[in-house]
């Protein structure tokens, strides 16, 4: 399989190619690391972000503010690709009288959400590109940091548009081109030094705050982008390395990944010794589309 898109972000022009892995297989490999009956590590990348990044409260507020105008009592709201379920939980707390649904293609995610929310959320296992819902089934559909995993982004957006009623709302969050750029730059240097080649650009470049707008306008006429940012300052190597599986170059060969990871650890160790910390840029955005 070959996907190719020219990406213009910051001052860089990148050609994104996936020659061996389906984008959705990439997502499943990234997020299905731990079967439902096994315990995950004590700390995950999400834990590190929640503790050290300044933007998670801004992200939550931005998403809730986007959904709020339509999340009236009785409104039918669905999150696609809900993952750990953190935004389902936020919506349940903030909009207590909505009818909340969730769909994810990950068995562990669905099992965990059913255990966490019980009857409070109608949770389904399903495909975001072929939604098992009737036309105009929802007042709001939201999906966050997921669209870059779609095989056909425009087709997926058209399917989501089909399932939103006239006068409804679509909300989706994604990264900006310079999000975590310091991490990306050191990861790229680690790949160059150990493997003698350039790393593949992050899959998120397929749908970010820059490349995402043309896709959004393929399905929606009224589209707004709300951007926000923050920082994450890490002072020890152990915490930084927790981010590698999720934010690293996603090398499928275990030996290559181990070599690049070891070199990245050395580079970050030098950076922290020199500067006292590893300073990371956080920059995201939320597309809001009215139907």
| 8 Å CB contact between 234 and 54 | no
Angle formed by the axes of helices 56-67 and 86-94, nearest 10°: 50
- Structure tokens given for 213: 């707008």
- Structure tokens given for 100: 């909340």
Residues composing the chain: 291
What is residue 168's predicted lDDT score, i.e. its pLDDT? 97
- Structure tokens given for 253: 């060969």
Would the pLDDT of 100 be above 90? yes
Q: What is the separation of C-alpha 264 from the centre of its chain, rounded to a whole number of angstroms?
A: 23
Give the C-alpha separation, 15 to 33, whole Å. Answer: 28
Residue owning tokens 């919506």? 91
What is residue 43's predicted lDDT score, i.e. its pLDDT? 81
**151-196 residue pLDDT tens:** 999 999 999 999 999 999 999 999 999 999 999 999 999 999 999 9
Specify whether domain 24-290 bears CATH 3.40.50.150: yes
Would the pLDDT of 209 be above 80? yes
Q: Select from 6, 141, 148 the least CA-distant residue to 75.
A: 141
Would the pLDDT of 1 be above 50? no
DSSP 116-158: HHGGGSEEEE-BTTB--S-TT-EEEEEEES-GGG-SSHHHHHH
**127-150 residue pLDDT tens:** 999 999 999 999 999 999 999 999
The residues that bridge with 170 in the sheet, in sequence order, are 141, 289
**217-263 residue pLDDT tens:** 999 999 999 999 999 999 999 999 999 999 999 899 999 999 999 99
Give the C-alpha separation, 265 to 270, whole Å. Answer: 9
Q: How many CB atoms lie within 10 A of CB 183?
A: 22
Give the up-direction half-sphere exposure of residue 229: CA atoms within 13 A in the CB hemisphere: 12
Give the C-alpha separation, 256 to 262, whole Å. Answer: 10
| 8 Å CB contact between 203 and 18 | yes
What is residue 21's predicted lDDT score, i.e. its pLDDT? 54
Domain chopping of the chain, boundaries:
24-290
Cα 136–Cα 139–Cα 145 angle in degrees, nearest 5: 100
| 8 Å CB contact between 112 and 142 | no
């Amino acid at each position: 399989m070959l996907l190719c898109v020219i990406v213009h972000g910051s001052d860089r022009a990148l050609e994104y190619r996936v020659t061996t892995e389906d984008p959705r297989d990439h997502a499943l490999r990234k997020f299905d690391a731990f079967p439902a009956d096994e315990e995950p590590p004590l700390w995950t990348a999400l834990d590190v972000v929640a503790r050290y990044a300044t933007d998670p409260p801004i992200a939550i507020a931005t998403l809730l503010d986007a959904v709020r105008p339509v999340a009236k009592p009785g409104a039918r709201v669905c999150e696609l690709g809900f993952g750990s379920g953190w935004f389902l939980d936020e919506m349940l707390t903030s909009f207590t009288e909505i009818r909340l649904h969730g769909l994810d293609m990950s068995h562990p995610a669905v099992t965990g959400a059913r255990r966490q929310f019980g009857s409070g959320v109608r949770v389904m296992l399903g495909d975001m590109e072929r939604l098992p819902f009737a036309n105009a089934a929802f007042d709001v559909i939201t999906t966050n940091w997921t669209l870059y995993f779609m095989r056909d982004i425009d087709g997926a957006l058209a399917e989501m548009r089909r399932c939103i009623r006239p006068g409804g709302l679509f909300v989706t969050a994604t990264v900006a081109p310079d999000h975590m750029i310091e991490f990306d730059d050191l990861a790229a240097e680690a790949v160059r030094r150990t493997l003698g080649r350039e790393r593949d650009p992050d899959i998120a470049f397929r749908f970010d705050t820059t490349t995402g707008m043309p896709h959004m306008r393929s399905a929606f006429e009224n589209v707004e982008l709300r951007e926000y940012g923050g920082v994450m300052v890490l002072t020890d190597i152990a915490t930084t390395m927790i981010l590698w599986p999720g934010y690293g170059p996603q090398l499928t060969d275990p030996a290559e990944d181990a070599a690049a990871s070891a070199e990245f650890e050395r580079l970050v160790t030098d950076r922290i010794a020199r500067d006292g910390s590893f300073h990371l840029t956080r920059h995201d955005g939320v597309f809001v589309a009215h139907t």
